[in-house]
């Protein structure tokens, strides 16, 4: 692995590990359940000692730029609906990992350059948010709209950013605490690609992580030259829109175009997780949303575990195309992207097959992709081994 491919994500001004963030926040109070996926606090709104609060903020990241490019190229604002879903799911599916499935209140913040993203695009973002929340409610997920804020900030952004914040109150006995991820568990992965029964179209599996690199590694210099507002001028030119494709080009190995695959809305696993928490709660020891950090996200959770992923699901075509176009190593691909599954359930071995069956009932491929063993590191520190393409990749 040469220097160019090993740090191309960092050279674009982004970090899959968020090491600078964790250097600060890891020193702060970790809440009532320090090992949980999200910070959980006392319920200061009601003062009920049997309940707790979780609040979460995230967004669509640079994925909003894909909707912007499509809009500028075609005049069609509909892709902004996908961006609205991305922003919601990046919050909702993190909340699922602590057991929050009802009483979830969402608020959106859209920062836009009104000259670049006019009213018809904004309407798609707002209505797309309401429609997706309604879809989830119809599937048994307790999510509600609390409104939001739209700010015209031309001096801050040349295009648009779409962010959300969600808050939920839950009973402390309902919390999923990832500190309970210990040796001896099976790991079930839920596929990021395919077509769930509640989705209208095939999902490429891209999610909403690594899109800065995915976009630049796949799309051609045409977009750098025509839409310089979508680039960071401080980034080296060879890393800006350096790929072989236009949005309308066919994605190899897929029935989707490159643009459709890159903008494929982030899938929520909420209907599956709601059913599992209702029917098989005792078999679930932890949930990990493979978002920032890709397949290495799990390293931050669990107690004294060596996480072994040695039966991964097939890699969707979008990731193969990114890797071929960029020359990125396997080691970095697994660190940045979900590579085929975006939700992990750490469960008792006996329950693994029934959990797989529930996912498949929802049209989502699933498989036992690994297990937890005892850590062999000093102080029983967590570490991860990924087996892929006849090689082992070690993290942590």
Indicate the pLDDT class of residue 371, thresholds 50, 70 and 90.
very high
Pairing of strands 305-309, 366-374: antiparallel
Are 101 and 287 within 8 A, CB to CB?
Answer: no
Answer whether residue 26 shows pLDDT above 90: no
- All structural domains of the chain, each given as residue ranges with its CATH number in brackets, are 31-171 (3.30.1330.10), 176-396 (3.90.650.10)
205 contact partners, CB below 8 Å, separation of at least 6:
191, 192, 193, 194, 264, 267, 316, 318, 319, 338, 340, 342
| DSSP character at residue 367 | E
pLDDT tens digits along 91-107: 999 999 999 999 999 99
CA angle 366, 371, 375 (to 5 degrees): 150
8 or 186: which leads in pLDDT? 186
Quote the CA–CA distance of 38 and 56 in Å, as a whole number.
8
Strand, coil or helix: 257:
strand
Q: Which two tokens stand for residue 337?
A: 């992207």
260 contact partners, CB below 8 Å, separation of at least 6:
204, 251
Region of 194 on the Ramachandran plot (φ > 0 left; ψ -120 to 50 alpha; else beta): left
Quote the CA–CA distance of 90 and 108 in Å, as a whole number.
12
Name residue, tokens 């048994």.
140
Single out the residue of 57, 116, 113, 121 nearest to residue 83, CA to CA: 121
Single out the residue of 304, 310, 327, 333 nearest to residue 396, CA to CA: 304
pTM of the model: 0.94
Quote the CA–CA distance of 280 and 170 in Å, as a whole number.
18
Q: What percentage of residues in the chain have a pLDDT greater than 70?
A: 95
Indicate the pLDDT class of residue 199, thresholds 50, 70 and 90.
very high
Average pLDDT over residues 119-144: 97
Are 364 and 194 within 8 A, CB to CB?
Answer: yes
Indicate the pLDDT class of residue 19, thresholds 50, 70 and 90.
low
Are 372 and 289 within 8 A, CB to CB?
Answer: no
Phi, psi of 46 (to 5 degrees): -110, -20
Average pLDDT over residues 4-16: 64
Q: Which two tokens stand for residue 268?
A: 């929520």
Q: What is the pLDDT of residue 18?
A: 56
């Amino acid at each position: 692995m040469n220097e160019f491919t090993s740090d191309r994500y960092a050279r674009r001004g982004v970090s899959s590990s968020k090491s600078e963030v964790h250097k600060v926040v890891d020193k702060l109070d970790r809440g009532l359940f320090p090992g949980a996926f999200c910070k959980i606090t006392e319920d200061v709104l009601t003062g009920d000692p049997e309940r707790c609060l979780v609040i979460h903020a995230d967004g669509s990241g640079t994925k909003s730029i894909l909707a912007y490019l499509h809009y500028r190229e075609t005049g069609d604002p509909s892709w902004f609906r996908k961006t609205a879903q991305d922003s919601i799911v990046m919050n909702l599916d993190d909340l699922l990992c602590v057991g929050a499935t009802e009483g979830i209140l969402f608020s959106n913040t859209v920062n836009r350059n009104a000259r670049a993203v006019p009213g018809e695009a904004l309407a798609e973002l707002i209505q797309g948010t309401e429609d997706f929340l309604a879809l989830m409610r119809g599937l048994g997920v307790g999510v509600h709209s609390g409104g939001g804020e739209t700010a015209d900030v031309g001096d801050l952004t040349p295009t648009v950013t779409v962010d959300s914040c969600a808050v939920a109150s839950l009973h402390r006995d309902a919390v999923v605490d990832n500190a309970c991820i210990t040796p001896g568990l099976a790991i079930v992965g839920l596929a990021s690609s395919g077509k769930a029964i509640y989705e209208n179209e095939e999902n490429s599996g891209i999610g909403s992580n690594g899109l800065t690199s995915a976009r630049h590694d796949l799309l051609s210099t045409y977009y750098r030259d025509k839409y310089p507002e979508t680039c960071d001028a401080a980034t080296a030119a060879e890393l800006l829109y350096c790929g072989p494709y236009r949005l309308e080009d066919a994605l190899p190995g897929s029935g989707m175009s490159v643009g459709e695959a890159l903008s494929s809305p982030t899938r929520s696993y909420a209907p599956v997780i709601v059913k599992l928490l209702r029917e098989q709660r005792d078999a679930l020891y932890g949930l990990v949303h493979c978002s920032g950090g890709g397949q290495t996200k799990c390293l931050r959770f669990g107690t004294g575990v060596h996480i072994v992923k040695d039966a991964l699901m097939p890699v969707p075509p979008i990731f193969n195309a990114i890797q071929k176009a960029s020359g990125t190593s396997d080691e970095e691909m697994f660190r940045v992207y979900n590579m085929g599954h975006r939700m992990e359930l750490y469960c008792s071995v006996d329950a693994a097959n029934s959990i797989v069956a529930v996912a498949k009932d929802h049209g989502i491929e699933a498989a036992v992709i690994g297990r937890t063993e005892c850590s062999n590191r000093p102080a029983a520190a967590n570490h991860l081994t990924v087996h892929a393409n006849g090689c082992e990749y070690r993290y942590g």
